[in-house]
Chain A
């Protein structure tokens, strides 16, 4: 079937560069990147959006997103985005961060950005491990999960329990939209897009800070195939990281 413009019903969004990513086969960072790009296209904000990337697997996101991008210091993306929004509130800003970047070194920055109610959006990718540096334990690593820095499996008596960022941030009194989604199955990807669309809308309408925690697979460092990874995420991560809205500006604060 030859390809003519009007027949295409699904293709690379304009807000995504035509670059081949460095991500491992099956890694769902690629899916999340595409969803964010689709949302930017649909909201028509590509030419006034500035993204802030983390240090981690997605540090090279600036090669894949077709918007102005800053590469932040490890954990500091929320401070970068605060800087952008405070001096140019008319720009749309979002941070794209992994669990090591946001929940570990960047904990201070994310908590205070959310608490100040900074009007930017955070895409928080939780794959329960440090990917780029080769599979070390992250604050979100599951109990008993084997990583290169907890080779006998995470001992929560020694390193504490995995941190549920969405719940933690939703305990703040300042209004926000905080939800958790996943990209390990087609249905969940469809839900993720709705959540990210909603998050960016809150920013465009200057309503509140928004954070979407996205459970994502890391086949390489989990040591599983893509299919096994999706299953592990479903059976191990989701019971501990329940999906759904944790906080919305419409509901009264807890």
Chain B
């Protein structure tokens, strides 16, 4: 399939279609309404189901109902909308159902703004809903990567019977870049014996997250964390960019911010100063080992984010004293410039 110039939001929608998904629930919110607008036209073309709910809160719960039947389903939203879905996400994780959520992040807190940000890191990685649960969180930094991650997200959701989140800042959704839709290698997935699709020829199933017996609820929690340990073993994804022994400074950044840092690294290289970048693609499971290894022997590590400092905590946890960990961030929709980041790094040299 030839490359096509597409807006990130539309590419994310098309990626789900190319992955064979035919069910999408949504609610309009800037900066990702184009996903809904695109799929409102596209889903009927492929015999798919498109429904705009009355709120993101309702949509999150429609996702639960749809996923419970065993059908593949997804939704996309942005920060305030994703906040409204947190209860449903906690239920979906507790009931162990597969579902895909995309968050095209905008400035917060509150109504915040509509420009790109990365200030939902804690909400998605540490869990924005109640109880002990995790989402598999994948952060693309290009439109192509958003497409690639979207196309494997549904297999991953089924593999772990767990919600998966694709999290991109507003830029990823609004930018146009050439993309192609490559079929990912098929993943061996277990049959969905748990699905509530009519008890023909079997005993009825119950899909619930309520376990009044504390030992049974504890067992459910432990089952979740067996899956999360497996995610930590099999789903860590990152990119090493110019990471090598001679690095003076290691940058840790993801999404659009990481692309800006690549420019900074090129500038330093031209000046004979060796700066590396470790770009997490999976925010959960966080690439702790890779960050730790890349931090060996550097003068300092700098976490660069479009937030007031969230991922930096996981960077500190990974670096664990191998080097001092600094933070630089712009927030509210302000995108850091290469010059600003360069000044911050020079302070560390």
Contacts and interface: CB of A to CB of B under 8 A. Distances in A.
Direct A–B contact present (CB less than 8 angstroms): yes
Interface of A: 46-50, 52, 59, 62-63, 65-73, 76, 79-84, 86-88, 91, 108-109, 111-112
B58 A108 contact: yes
Contacts, number: 127
Contacts of A87: 23, 49, 66, 69, 71, 73
Given A86-B49, A87-B71, 13 more contacts: A47-B200, A50-B68, A50-B197, A50-B198, A73-B61, A73-B91, A76-B64, A79-B58, A79-B62, A83-B64, A86-B25, A87-B69, A88-B197
Contacts of B209: 71
A82 B62 contact: yes
B65 interface: yes
Contact of A69 (B61, B91, B207): B207
List the 9 closest A-B pairs by CB distance, nearest first.
A83-B65, A80-B65, A79-B61, A71-B208, A83-B66, A48-B198, A68-B196, A112-B54, A76-B61
B188 interface: no
Given A49-B198, A69-B196, A91 B58 contact: no
B345 interface: no
Contact of A82 (B51, B196, B207): B51
Q: Counting chain A CB atoms within 10 Å of each CB, which of B53, B63, B65 scores highest? A: B65
Contacts of B95: 71
B64 A80 contact: yes
A47 B201 contact: yes
B109 interface: no
B147 to A, nearest CB: 23
Contacts of A62: 206, 208
A83 B67 contact: yes
Contacts of B61: 72-73, 76, 79-80, 83, 109
A141 to B, nearest CB: 25
Contacts of B62: 79-80, 82-83, 86
A143 B306 CA distance: 53
Nearest to A79: B61
A111 B204 CA distance: 29
Query: Is chain A's binding surface mostly helix, strand, loop or mixed?
Result: helix
A71 B206 contact: yes
A236 to B, nearest CB: 33
A49 B198 CA distance: 5
A70 B199 CA distance: 13
A168 to B, nearest CB: 16
Contacts of B67: 83
Contacts of A111: 54
Nearest to B195: A68
Nearest to A109: B58
Contact of A91 (B55, B197, B205, B207): B197
Contact of B88 (A76, A82, A86, A91): A76
Nearest to B64: A80
Interface in B143-200: 196-200
22 contacts: A47-B200, A47-B201, A48-B198, A50-B69, A50-B198, A62-B206, A67-B204, A69-B205, A69-B208, A70-B196, A70-B206, A71-B95, A72-B61, A79-B59, A81-B65, A83-B62, A83-B63, A84-B66, A86-B25, A87-B69, A109-B61, A111-B54
